[in-house]
A = this chain, B = another copy of it.
């Protein structure tokens, strides 16, 4: 995702309006590696601007997604995780606490023989590893 300043310029170029609500969301997403949900972003926004609605947060996140600035990830944790990290990477999902981590993989074997694809045209491949994050693993060992 671009910097908040670049996003402000980009929004204006696209005929979108720049509001304080949106600028706040831009800042909260910048360099954010927590894979936040719309709810968690909203919780941070209202600390600064108490009247902002969850709908506004969803709308801004979806606009950023449509612009290719962030990705919405359905990782099976119950709600969509938003990811401003646009480099090619995959995810580690803790089945206990639902923390999401990044993992950078070179997966040559995902260059698939077309015969196994039966005419399916692959756009992208997502690899999701499920297991225990280091914190949950440590706690699990203590019990």
Point out residues on A near B: beta carbons under 8 Å. 74, 76, 92, 94-95, 101, 103-110, 112, 116-134, 137
Contact of A125 among B120, B121, B122, B127 (CB under 8 A): B127
What copy number does this chain have within its complex? 2
Q: Please, which residue of chain B has its CB at the minimum distance from the CB of A136?
A: B121
Complex-state Cα separation, A3 to B83, whole angstroms: 43
A111–B68 CA distance with the chains assembled, in angstroms: 31
Smallest distance from the beta carbon of A125 to chain B beta carbons, Å? 5
Q: Name the residue on B nearest A75 (C-beta).
A: B74
With both chains docked as a complex, state the minimum distance between the C-beta of A131 and any C-beta of chain B, in angstroms. 4
| A122 adjacent to B92 (CB under 8 Å) | yes
In the assembly, what is the distance between CA of A128 and CA of B73, in Å? 12
A52 CB → nearest B CB, Å: 27
Known interface pairs A108-B109, A109-B105, A109-B107; A95-B123 also in contact (CB < 8 Å):
yes
Residues of B within 8 A of A110 (CB): 105, 107, 127
Q: Report whether A124 and B116 are in contact in the complex, using a CB–CB cutoff of 8 Å.
A: no
